[in-house]
Amino acid sequence: MPALLGLLLCFSCEKPVTDPEVYEYRFPLSYAGSLETEGFSLKSGEQVGLFLVTGGTLTGEAVEESGQWVVKATSPRSVPEGAAVYPFYPYVADCPDDGCLDVVLPADQPGDLRSLPLAGEPFRFHAGQPGEDNGAVCFRSMAALVDIRVCSSGTSAGEQVESVYLRTTDGAGLAGKATARLTSAMVGVKRVPALTLSGGRPYANLTRTSTVATTGDAAEPNRVIVAPGTYSGTVTVVTGAATYSLPFTDKTFSADADNRFVIDLNSKEITRTALCNLENARVAGYLDAFEQKPYSASDYSFTYVTAYYTGTGAGNRLDLPRPVTVKWTNPAAGNGDKIVYVYKDPAMEELEMAVPANNAAATSVDVYNLIPGRTWYYRVAGGGKDVASGVFKTTGRRRMIKVGESTYGKNHANNCRDFGGQLTASGKTVKYGKIFRGSNMDDTTPEAQKVLLDYLKVGLDVDLRAKGTGERGKYQLDALSLGAMHTTETYGSWANLSDKDRMRATLTKIFGAVSRNSTVYIHCKVGADRTGYVCMLLEALLGVPQNRCDLDYEMTSFSGAVGARTRTGVGNYYYVSKTDDGVTTVQGVDFINTFPGSTFQEKAVNYVTKTLGIPLSTITAFQNNMLE
With b meaning 16 or more CB within 10 Å and e meaning fewer, what string describes 147-175? bbbbbbeeebbebebbbbbbbbbeeebbb
* Nearest of 347, 108, 107, 110 to residue 208 by alpha carbon: 110
Peptide bond into 90 cis (omega under 30): yes
Alpha carbons 311 and 587: distance in angstroms, whole number: 31
DSSP SS3 for 264:
strand
DSSP 590: H
- Residue 248, strand partner residues: 233
Residue 59: predicted pLDDT: 92
* Upper half-sphere CA count for residue 69 (Cβ side, 13 Å): 16
pLDDT for position 205: 96
* pLDDT under 50: residue ranges of the chain: 1-19, 473, 475-482
Contact 412, 438 (CB under 8 A): no
Picking from 58, 134, 68, 53, the residue whose alpha carbon sits closest to that of residue 91 is 58
Give the helix, strand, coil percentages of the chain, each rounded to 5. Answer: 20, 30, 45
Question: For the chain, which domains are there?
Answer: 23-101+111-141 (2.60.40), 144-176+195-274 (2.60.40.2630), 281-317+399-626 (3.90.190.10), 322-395 (2.60.40.10)
Q: What angle do CA 38, 42, 45 make, to 5 degrees?
A: 165
- Residue 15 confidence (pLDDT): 37
End-to-end CA distance of the chain: 74
Whether residue 262 contacts residue 147, with contact meaning beta carbons closer than 8 Å, is answered with no
What is the predicted pLDDT for the residue at 198? 87
pLDDT at position 482 is: 42
Q: How many CB atoms lie within 10 A of CB 310?
A: 13
pLDDT at res. 455: 92
Per-residue burial over 425-459, b = 16 or more CB atoms within 10 Å of its CB, e = otherwise: eeebebbbebbbbbbbbbbbeeebbebbbeebebb
HEC secondary structure over 473-523: HHCCHHHHCCCCEECCCCCCCHHHHCCHHHHHHHHHHHHHHHHCCCEEEEE
List pLDDT tens digits, range 271-297: 999 999 999 999 999 999 999 999 999
